Amino acid sequence: MKLLDKDWDKISCPAWIIHGDKDGFVPVENVDYAKRKLVNAKTVEVKILPGARHFIPWEQYDEIKEVLMRLK
């Protein structure tokens, strides 16, 4: 994520951060890091999925579908 430091402020659209609290690849603390970096995002919504691991779209399909349906 730090490699993208120079680009975070270019994001001005609404942003969603979806993260599993059991992700063994990416620490859940990265959510706070991303929120701090999204200074120009119109909005930042966060959803931490209890019990979810790294492969959320495959393992938590219903939760992802719910979030995507709200984007209409």
* CA 6 centroid distance within chain: 18
Question: Residue 72's pLDDT band (boundaries 50, 70, 90)?
Answer: low
What is the Cα–Cα distance from 38 to 12, expressed in whole angstroms? Answer: 8
Q: What is the pTM of this model?
A: 0.82
Q: Domain segments of the chain: what residues? A: 2-69
Tell me the CATH number for domain 2-69.
3.40.50.11320
Q: Model confidence over 15-52: pLDDT tens digits?
A: 999 999 999 999 999 999 999 999 999 999 999 999 99
What is the Cα–Cα distance from 50 to 47, expressed in whole angstroms? Answer: 9
pLDDT value of residue 63: 86
pLDDT of 66 > 80? The answer is yes
* Amino acid at the residue 16: W
